[in-house]
Amino acid sequence: MNELCDLGAIDICKALKLNAGIEILDIGGNNILEKGAESLAEALMENKTLRTLELGYNPIGPKGGASLANAVKFHSNISTLRMGWCKITKEGAWHIADAMKYNQCVTVLDLRGNELGDEGCAALAQSLSLVNEKLSSLDLGYNEIKDNGAFALAQAIKNNADGSIASISVNNNYITKFGEVALTEAVELVQELNPERDLYVQF
């Protein structure tokens, strides 16, 4: 909340490329746009010490989200990535979902309030369904997700009964009882197949 804007973010990113000590960076609510996000993505490709990045409440848009997704896909060691309320939309969600198929570090992913809708939710669900073995917490609250998105998540949960995901939040969306039942039944099935696994879905 310091009104860094893109120019301030770019200056911070120049330093971040050289810094080998900072593990947590909070630049949320700074009116950072696409250019600032691109600069941050470049810094993340070089910085190997940063573990937690809070970028929430910056309107980086889908292209900014795509740049960051490309950075964390193979190059970054970020384990906690918070990008709530960043106007990423379903377009940016596709890039983030693709990155999660390959990323081996992110355990906490916060994408609240990004207008992902069912399509963005389904893209992320596909990543959870196929290969992701690191992500443990996914927050998709306030994303205009309806039952189709819930059904996609439910199928992903069932397809990856041995996965690492432990917490999924879909609160404050447009999911009806049908979607809630599908998710609840998916969790129950997974816990039946894998009694030692803890898995919780928050509506």
Which ranges constitute the DSSP H helices of the chain? 5-18, 34-46, 61-74, 89-102, 117-130, 147-159, 177-193
pLDDT tens for 60-77 read 999 999 999 999 999 989
Residue 164 three-state SS:
coil
Question: pTM for this one?
Answer: 0.96
Cβ contacts of residue 40 below 8 Å, gap of 6+? Answer: 9, 13, 16, 32, 55, 67, 68, 71
* Per-residue pLDDT reduced to its tens digit, 111-164: 999 999 999 999 999 998 875 678 999 999 999 999 999 999 999 999 988 888
- Phi, psi of 194, rounded to the nearest 5 degrees: -135, 80
Question: What is the average pLDDT score of the chain?
Answer: 95
Residue type, position 136, single letter:
S
Instruction: Assign a CATH topology to domain 5-202.
Output: 3.80.10
